[in-house]
Amino acid sequence: MSFSGKVAVVTGGSSGMGAATAEALSSAGAQVNLIDIDKKGAEEIAKKTGSEIYIGDVSNSEFCDLTINSIAEKQGQIDILINAAGIILRADALETNDDNWKRIMEVNVDGVFYMCRSALSHMVTKKSGVIVNFGSIWGDVASSGATAYCVTKGAVHQLTKALALEHAENGIRVNAVAPGEVNTPMIKAGRDKPPTRDELQDLANATIPIKRLAEPEEIAEVVLFLASEKSSYMTGSIVPVDAGYTAR
């Protein structure tokens, strides 16, 4: 797949699946713009990809508008938006306080909405563009012990479908990838004690049909497919990449 001449925006591009996606897009010829709150991590990825960096919080709508407008002005267009920024809260409902609930909603839902809205304002003018949101298997099947996270990813799935319907006639496609368990910093985040490699393998053996975690690059390949013309007849789709987890 070639993305030569395409301008891409990747949120959460400093690590994990966002970083893998940014690197894959860059390798395929796209001009990549990284948006992240982690300056150091973003700078490391930018060295590999030649990306422009925009440091800020996607839960701030003004930041999203200013950043997207700046990218469009400098580079003339926005062809691809990848919403990979997200956080996790490992807590059930009774353990979730108001501040934690608000914060995960702000990042995982508000941030995706604000970035989509900002990018769409430019894509509609061009009558072309592709958005790929990061959902999750937990947006459909849920899990105990991560109530707020499940809710946010369910919201991302519905937002993806609604935007796809609203902009199908504008030549804009909106899809989401729904990863399963992936070997990224998030799988270790929010725990009292980060799991060891053996504990992660035990998790894979117990829950994943092919008995291993995904690597970020494997998810990125699906994201690139959804961002490319090879998926030209797909919009409003939630694509699980979970090694059979949700097939049960």
* pLDDT of the residue at 109: 98
Structural domain harbouring 233:
7-184+215-240
CATH number, domain with residue 171:
3.40.50.720
State pLDDT tens for residues 15-42. 999 999 999 999 999 999 999 999 999 9
Q: Which of 54, 114, 149, 245 is catalytic?
A: 149
Whether the pLDDT of residue 53 is over 80: the answer is yes
**Do the Cβ atoms of 29 and 2 come closer than 8 Å?**
yes
Predicted TM-score of the model (pTM): 0.96
**Do the Cβ atoms of 106 and 132 come closer than 8 Å?**
no
Residue 149 among the catalytic residues: yes
**CA 76 – CA 71 distance, rounded (Å):** 8
* pLDDT of the residue at 189: 74
State pLDDT tens for residues 187-233. 877 667 778 888 889 889 999 999 999 999 999 999 999 999 999 99
**CA 10 – CA 177 distance, rounded (Å):** 14
State pLDDT tens for residues 137-174. 999 999 999 999 999 999 999 999 999 999 999 999 99
Domain contains 203: no
Domain contains 201: no
State pLDDT tens for residues 93-109. 999 999 999 999 999 99
**Do the Cβ atoms of 85 and 91 come closer than 8 Å?**
no
Domain contains 236: yes
Domain contains 232: yes
- Residue 248: pLDDT band with limits 50, 70, 90: confident
Domain contains 189: no
- The whole-angstrom distance between residue 174's C-alpha and the CA centroid of its chain comes to 12
Domain contains 155: yes
Pairing mode of beta strands 80-83, 52-55: unpaired
* pLDDT of the residue at 187: 83
Count of structural domains within the chain: 1
Q: Looking at this protein, which amino acid is placed at residue 231?
A: S
- What is the chain's mean pLDDT, rounded? 96
Domain contains 195: no
* pLDDT of the residue at 203: 85
Q: Looking at this protein, which amino acid is placed at residue 192?
A: D
**CA 162 – CA 147 distance, rounded (Å):** 23
Domain contains 131: yes
**Do the Cβ atoms of 123 and 163 come closer than 8 Å?**
no
**CA 94 – CA 60 distance, rounded (Å):** 28
What residues does 11 pair with on adjacent strands?
A: 35, 83
